[in-house]
Structure 1
Amino acid sequence: MSGALRIDRVVTSGLFELDGGAWEVDNNVWVVGDDDEAVVIDAAHDAEPIVKAVGGRDVAAVVCTHGHTDHVTVAPRLGRELDAPVLLHSGDDVLWRMSHEGRSYRHLDDGHRIGVAGTELVAIHTPGHSPGSVCLHLPEAGALFSGDTLFSGGPGATGRSYSDFPTIIGSIRERLFRLPEETRVHTGHGDGTTIGSEAPHLAEWIARGH
């Protein structure tokens, strides 16, 4: 491993489109690695700042936490420009095809390990926000990349097609809240949080159907 393991954030802006609607959103794109290699988490809106953050490093994978338009916008382009496989859970194939019909990706399954910078990111299948949503756990750094499954203040939205509130609650309770409380949660939008900050509020979210 060359240099210390680090986590860089790139914020990009653009549209999230689903169910005939379109919303302006800011997305967090995460670049995880050392001086020589990296993994890109989510390919949102604009390739240039993501490529700049990679800075010529070898890219092991471009990982999509789910298939919504704002998280896969430039995934095929990044895959080509960075000579890296694009990974997505097959449960989100229908969403992927809304943006990239005819473009391929590699399947990202629960428990899949992605090696980078002498450590591994571990995929955790967390359906609910979408059928194929995944989070990525980086135990060495005490970090979780939650996509749109868990935010500061509650679970991701479940009011649109292909989403389900009881399912996302089950994913968070059974998969994410079993991680150490000090685990830092790097979210798909907005500010981060920790597992310990969010876990005490689960009953409140269920009661109000967040």
Structure 2
Amino acid sequence: MPARVDHGTASGTFSLDGETFDVENNIWVVGDDTECLVIDAPHSVDAIMAVVGDRRVRAIVCTHAHDDHVRVAPELRTRTGAPVLLHPDDRPLWELTHGGPDDVDAWLWDLDLADGQVLEVAGTTLTVLHTPGHAPGAVCLHAPDLGCVFTGDTLFQGGPGATGRSFSDLPTLEASIRARLFGLPDDTVVHTGHGADTTIGAEAAALGR
């Protein structure tokens, strides 16, 4: 059975810099009928598991550490036994949600992500692309066999992710998008952290390579 992409959504909140907003996040699961990877851990373990079903979760791969993407990662790890993966540059954001070095109840992710790392599941591969800007450790996951890239909050339909808050920078984000994403084939489907899909070609035409 070839690998496929399954999708759901979960609603909750995003909090940073003393402000809280209602958000709806996409849930992305890559795998076959037996095993899968979960991309991000937004809001509700039950909503994520409704997409996973009875498959073995090989890993929980976080595109970045804003609380709406990692808040239920510990609970999802407990439920599935799968390790949580995150780029180490996002530790300051992670600690805002899961505690820092002075917190006796602090909890860290299990394994670091690195630029160029290849993750394998169900006979397909996802390559980690470090794309800082929205967050220092933000990553995208390119799945060439599936013709898609999972961009978290780095790139959306309509342009780059949000900046202007702590740990973000628009020039860095735009440079990441041009250097790491706009070299992918134009017909590559962009599966985003929030909202509708787009394509690399559409966003490159709008933003300019």
TM interval, shorter chain, is over 0.9
1:42-191 matches, within 5 Å, as 42-101=40-99, 102-105=106-109, 106-191=111-196
Q: How far apart, CA to CA, are the structure 2 residues paired with 1:189 and 1:31?
A: 15
Greater than 6 Å deviation, 4+ residue runs: none
Aligned residues between the structures: 202
Q: 2:41–2:60: 8 Å Cα contact kept in structure 1? A: yes
Q: Report the CA distance between 1:38 and its aligned residue.
A: 0.3
What is the TM-score normalised by the length of structure 1? Answer: 0.94
Amino acid at match of 2:151: S
Kept in 2, the 8 Å contact 1:60–1:115? The answer is no
What is the deviation of 1:119?
1.2
Over residues 67-88 of structure 1, what are the superposed CA-to-partner deviations in whole Å (9 max), with x where a residue is unaligned? 0000001111111111111001
What amino acid maps onto 1:88 in structure 2? Answer: L
Counterpart of 1:116, as a letter, is: V
5+ residue gaps, structure 1, are 205-210
Matched position secondary structure for 1:50? helix
- 2: distance between equivalents of 1:157 and 1:49? 25
> How far 1:203 sits from its partner (Å)?
4.2
RMSD of the TM alignment (CA)?
1.1
In the TM superposition, what is the alpha-carbon distance from 1:52 to its structure 2 partner?
2.0
